[in-house]
């Protein structure tokens, strides 16, 4: 480093910080240092870097620090009322403690600017950020991601373009349809939220198409993509009418659903679960009356997210990676009363 | 509260040094005791502080311990030289090598010859102080014998590596299919056909098939051309595939074909179709199929991410098969080429 510092005419500390992508060094200098380090063939020694990292980290001895869980929901309490998301939180918190960290919920109030949020986080010495799912789009404005390591939960928050930890919804759909088939159902339908399906890259529908092919389902029922965005009474009643027509035409024996509103619609339409139609959910936590379906293993998602974040922090990976990847946690089938195995005829 | 070596020592009734040695897998401690200590450590939720660990290592040896900064690419092919002849796998290797170097590690190939017992291979790796293993694809499936994965951080490439339930890195095949169909549609083609190998797609969880249908649905097409299954393992199957292809082309008149089967190109030529004049062709793997347009799975990036993830696991002292293995998907890119030009 001393060699590089001499060559560049800056201090050794500046070189060191630039190599660590430290935000206090200008982006230009960071680029310059990296270029020179390449030219001069500089390779960091993992042990000396580890030692240095440790010396840098010697903040309060008992814990290494805090990572932030950013809550920007309009009604901030709503986020963890979803059992799925609460389990993300718990899985993340427990895993963090194991490594000497703590997860703090940072409620980002609407009247606080992104820049100010950034300052608050930095002032608290926070370098790692977890972004849980959000229903509304988040405007990050001029928030500087290069100062933080980031992991998102799922694809509902489209930016920053960080690594994402989420459930493997494609494989889970194939698995769930397979299970319903194994339980003796033949006319298997899928009604999932159109926007949700779109956001997860069509994973649910792709999985459904493939499962139909794999199992040779005949007839292969067409999927019903629901439109539930505003959840106004008008929208709900329109959806219920569409559902009624679809049920009448397709006569499914079993359904895989994602909308929390659908079970009530089925009731209103006079379908009993499971006597008239058996129902499984793409989650078994948040859909009323539906206890069979995909256990997305939310705690493992939370745990994996924190571990991914800590690993990024360990190697000082900040900002949006050049090749963001998706880290998928496998779901499991959960038996339940809403979809009992059919008696053999 | 952090679990320390001292806590484990108290529980087992040995000294702190013994615990430390045992967790480092030192032969100075009996194998039975090493296993016991490791079990108790796991039960108590002990996680080594990776940073203190390297500091300790540094102090112990007084010098940079070269062997410890090595990760290994485990080659257990019956003909080891074949592995990196696959263009894709060679790219995995290169990407991994580069990423490792950037993080201060060295990636070395370890050839575990087929006739060598698992225990011995394992011991050789331990003796060299190797902490992490990258497991490339093995064709046919490798026999891992009684190899004890729990001693190493692990990362495997793709679903084809069986028998090791490690985290894995692979291309995002479903998303790539959706991207490719959308791209071909954007280039002005309206009758897009898919030629695929059922067994291969199945081994990837049906990503191509499912993605193909969803991509069409997304474009508002409910009834795409039914995908053609291609199989060329035996001359009979190949002849049948060629016949099927002929009638499929006639019946559905595709203007563009996306193929996952290399033999399709040969059959097309034999049937008198010129690419791209008569039909435009893209492939799901341009490295292995002789057209230049299609899906670039970015194998070098897959290699890079695999090495980075492995090193991060080492830094968090994550060893063995995790309780909840995850799949890490890397995004693919579209490759423009002469075999599928934009239509005007």
Do B203 and B309 fall within a single domain? no
Helix axes B5-12, B31-43, angle to 10 degrees: 120
Contact B46/A at CB under 8 A: no
B104 CB neighbours in chain A (<8 A) are 43-46, 49
Distance from CA of A245 to the nearest CA of B (A): 19
- In B88-212 the beta strands, taken as DSSP E runs, fall at 106-111, 132-135, 153-157, 168-171, 192-196
Residue that wins the pLDDT comparison between B83 and A19: B83
Q: What is the pLDDT of residue A52?
A: 58
Percent of the residues in chain A that have a pLDDT greater than 90, as a whole number: 71
Chain-wide mean pLDDT for chain B? 89
Determine contact, residues B55/A50, Cβ cutoff 8 Å. Answer: yes
State the pLDDT confidence band at B163, using cuts at 50, 70 and 90: confident
Q: What is the pLDDT of residue A49?
A: 61
Distance from CA of A116 to the nearest CA of B (A): 31
Last residue of a domain, one of B26, B46, B63: B63
Chain-wide mean pLDDT for chain A? 90
Considering only the beta carbons, identify the residue of B2, B51, B214 that sits closest to A206: B214
Q: How far apart are CA B160 and CA B141, in angstroms?
A: 8
Residue A315's closest chain B neighbor by CA? B312
The Cα-based distances of A19 to A16, A35, A147, A189, A309 in angstroms read: 5, 10, 14, 54, 20
Q: What is the pLDDT of residue B67?
A: 43
Interface mutation vs chain B, best among A49, A325, A330, A332, most B CBs within 10 Å: A325
A203 CB neighbours in chain B (<8 A) are 174
Distance from CA of A263 to the nearest CA of B (A): 26
Do B121 and B13 fall within a single domain? no
CATH number for the domain harbouring residue B51? 1.10.260
State the pLDDT confidence band at B1, using cuts at 50, 70 and 90: low
Residue B198's closest chain A neighbor by CA? A214
DSSP B284-321: S-TTTSS-SSEEE--HHHHHHHHHHHHHHHHHTT--SS
B302 CB neighbours in chain A (<8 A) are none
**Taking residues B143-164, what's their average pLDDT?**
91
CATH number for the domain harbouring residue B72? 3.40.50.2300
- For B323-333, the pLDDT digits (tens) are 888 999 999 99
Residues found in chain B: 344
Q: What is the pLDDT of residue A184?
A: 96
Do B152 and B239 fall within a single domain? no
A200 CB neighbours in chain B (<8 A) are none
Q: How far apart are CA A172 and CA A332, in angstroms?
A: 7
Angle at A321 between CA A318 and CA A327, to 5 degrees: 105
User: Is B342 a domain residue?
Assistant: no
Q: Give yes or no for residue B64 having a pLDDT over 70.
A: no
User: Is B339 a domain residue?
Assistant: no
**Taking residues B275-297, what's their average pLDDT?**
92
Do B72 and B126 fall within a single domain? yes
Examine the predicted complex and report whether its ipTM is higher than 0.90. no
A57 CB neighbours in chain B (<8 A) are 51
Q: What is the pLDDT of residue B49?
A: 57
Return the minimum-mean-pLDDT range out of B35-39, B176-180, B250-254.
B35-39
- For B174-202, the pLDDT digits (tens) are 999 999 999 999 999 999 999 999 988 99
Contact B42/A at CB under 8 A: no
Q: Cβ contacts of residue A18 below 8 Å, gap of 6+?
A: A25, A29, A30, A32, A33, A34
User: Is B134 a domain residue?
Assistant: yes
User: Is B341 a domain residue?
Assistant: no
Do B35 and B71 fall within a single domain? no
Rg for chain A, CA atoms, rounded: 25
User: Is B247 a domain residue?
Assistant: yes
Do B312 and B218 fall within a single domain? no
Of A12, A54, A51, A47, which Cα lies nearest the Cα of A33?
Answer: A12
Q: What is the pLDDT of residue B234?
A: 94
Last residue of a domain, one of B47, B63, B79: B63
Considering only the beta carbons, identify the residue of B172, B213, B309 that sits closest to A326: B172
User: Is B248 a domain residue?
Assistant: yes
The boundaries of the domain holding residue B198 are: 173-296
Cβ pair A325:B174 closer than 8 A: no
Q: What is the pLDDT of residue A54?
A: 53
Q: Give yes or no for residue A132 having a pLDDT over 70.
A: yes
Q: Give yes or no for residue A50 having a pLDDT over 90.
A: no
Total number of domains constituting chain B: 3
User: Is B344 a domain residue?
Assistant: no
Do B309 and B165 fall within a single domain? yes
Do B54 and B196 fall within a single domain? no
Q: How far apart are CA B326 and CA A143, in angstroms?
A: 30
User: Is B338 a domain residue?
Assistant: no
Cis bond upstream, residue A160 (ω within 30): yes
Last residue of a domain, one of B38, B63, B88: B63
Q: Which two tokens stand for residue A339?
A: 């979809």
Percent of the residues in chain B that have a pLDDT greater than 90, as a whole number: 65
Do B74 and B158 fall within a single domain? yes
**Taking residues A337-345, what's their average pLDDT?**
84
Helices (H) and strands (E) in chain B, counts: 13, 12
Other CB atoms closer than 10 Å to residue B290's CB: what's the count? 12
Bridge-based pairing state of the strands A332-334 and A293-295: antiparallel
Q: Give yes or no for residue A53 having a pLDDT over 70.
A: no
**Taking residues B164-169, what's their average pLDDT?**
94
Do B41 and B112 fall within a single domain? no
Residue that wins the pLDDT comparison between A104 and B287: A104
What single DSSP character describes residue B47?
A: -
Do B115 and B166 fall within a single domain? yes
Q: What is the pLDDT of residue A300?
A: 95
B196 CB neighbours in chain A (<8 A) are none
Beta bridge partners of A333: A294
Cβ pair B312:A50 closer than 8 A: no
What SS3 class is residue B102? Answer: helix
Phi, psi of B31 (to 5 degrees): -60, -40
B202 CB neighbours in chain A (<8 A) are 214
Contact B331/A at CB under 8 A: yes
- For A136-193, the pLDDT digits (tens) are 889 999 999 999 999 999 988 888 999 999 999 999 999 999 999 999 999 999 999 9
State the pLDDT confidence band at B36, using cuts at 50, 70 and 90: confident
Cβ pair B329:A315 closer than 8 A: no
Do B204 and B233 fall within a single domain? yes
Q: What is the pLDDT of residue A63?
A: 59
CB-defined contacts A:B, below 8 A: 151
Cβ pair B316:A45 closer than 8 A: no
Residue that wins the pLDDT comparison between B120 and B52: B120
Q: Give yes or no for residue B149 having a pLDDT over 60.
A: yes
Q: How far apart are CA B73 and CA B310, in angstroms?
A: 11
């Amino acid at each position: 480093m001393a060699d590089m510092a001499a060559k560049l005419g800056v201090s050794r500390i500046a070189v060191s910080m630039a190599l660590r992508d430290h935000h206090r060094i200008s982006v230009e200098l960071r680029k310059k240092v990296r270029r020179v380090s390449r030219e001069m063939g500089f390779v960091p020694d993992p042990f000396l870097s580890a030692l240095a990292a440790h010396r840098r980290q010697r903040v309060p001895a008992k814990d290494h620090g805090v990572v932030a869980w950013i809550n920007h929901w309009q009604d901030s309490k709503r986020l963890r009322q979803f059992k799925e998301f609460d389990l993300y939180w718990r899985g993340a918190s427990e895993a963090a403690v194991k490594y000497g960290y703590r997860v703090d919920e940072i409620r980002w109030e609407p009247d606080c600017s992104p820049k100010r949020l950034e300052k608050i986080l930095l002032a608290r010495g926070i370098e790692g950020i977890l972004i849980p799912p959000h229903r509304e789009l988040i405007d990050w404005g001029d928030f500087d991601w290069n100062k933080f390591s980031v992991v998102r939960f799922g694809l509902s928050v489209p930016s920053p373009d960080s690594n994402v930890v989420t459930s493997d919804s494609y494989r889970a759909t194939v698995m769930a349809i397979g299970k319903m088939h194994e339980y003796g159902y033949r006319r298997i339908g899928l009604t999932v939220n159109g926007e949700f399906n779109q956001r997860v890259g069509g994973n649910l529908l792709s999985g459904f198409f493939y499962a139909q092919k794999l199992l040779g389902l005949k007839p292969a029922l067409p999927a019903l993509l629901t439109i539930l965005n505003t959840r106004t009474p008008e929208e709900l009643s329109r959806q219920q009418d569409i559902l009624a027509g679809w049920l009448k035409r397709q006569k499914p024996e079993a359904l895989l659903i994602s909308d929390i509103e659908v079970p009530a619609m089925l009731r209103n339409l006079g379908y009993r679960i499971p006597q008239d139609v058996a129902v499984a959910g793409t989650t078994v936590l948040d859909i009323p009356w539906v206890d069979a379906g995909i256990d997305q293993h939310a705690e493992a998602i939370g745990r994996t997210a924190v571990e991914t974040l800590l690993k990024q922090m360990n190697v000082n990976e900040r900002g949006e990676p050049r090749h963001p990847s998706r880290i998928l946690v496998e779901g499991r089938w959960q038996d339940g009363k809403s979809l009992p195995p059919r008696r053999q005829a | 509260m952090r679990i320390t070596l001292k806590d484990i020592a108290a529980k087992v009734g040995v000294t702190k040094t013994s615990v430390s040695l045992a967790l480092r897998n030192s032969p100075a401690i009996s194998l039975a005791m090493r296993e016991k200590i490791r079990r108790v450590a796991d039960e108590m939720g002990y996680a080594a502080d990776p940073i203190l660990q390297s500091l300790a290592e540094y102090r112990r040896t007084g010098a940079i311990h070269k062997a410890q900064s090595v990760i290994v690419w485990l080659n257990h092919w019956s003909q080891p030289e074949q592995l990196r002849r696959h263009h894709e796998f060679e790219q995995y290797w290169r990407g991994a090598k580069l990423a490792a170097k950037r993080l201060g590690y060295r990636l070395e190939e370890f050839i575990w010859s087929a006739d060598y017992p698992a225990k011995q291979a394992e011991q050789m790796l331990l003796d060299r102080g190797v902490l992490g293993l990258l497991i490339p694809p093995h064709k046919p499936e490798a026999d891992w014998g009684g190899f004890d994965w729990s001693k190493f951080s692990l990362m495997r490439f793709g679903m084809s590596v069986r028998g090791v339930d490690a985290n894995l890195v692979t291309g995002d095949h479903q998303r790539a299919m959706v991207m490719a169909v959308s791209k071909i549609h954007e280039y002005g083609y309206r009758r897009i056909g898919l030629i695929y190998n059922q067994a291969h797609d199945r081994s990837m969880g049906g990503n191509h098939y499912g993605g193909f249908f969803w991509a069409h649905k997304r474009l508002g097409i409910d009834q795409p051309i039914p995908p053609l299954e291609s199989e060329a393992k035996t001359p009979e199957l190949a002849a049948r595939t060629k016949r099927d292809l002929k009638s499929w082309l006639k019946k559905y008149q595709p203007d563009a074909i996306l193929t996952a089967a290399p033999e399709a190109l040969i059959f097309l030529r034999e049937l008198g179709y010129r690419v791209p004049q008569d039909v435009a062709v893209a492939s799901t793997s341009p490295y292995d199929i002789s057209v230049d347009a299609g899906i670039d799975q970015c194998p070098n990036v897959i290699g890079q991410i695999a090495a980075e993830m492995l090193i991060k696991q080492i830094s968090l002292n994550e060893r063995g098969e995790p309780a909840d293995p995850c799949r890490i998907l890397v995004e693919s890119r579209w490759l423009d080429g002469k075999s599928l030009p934009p239509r005007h």
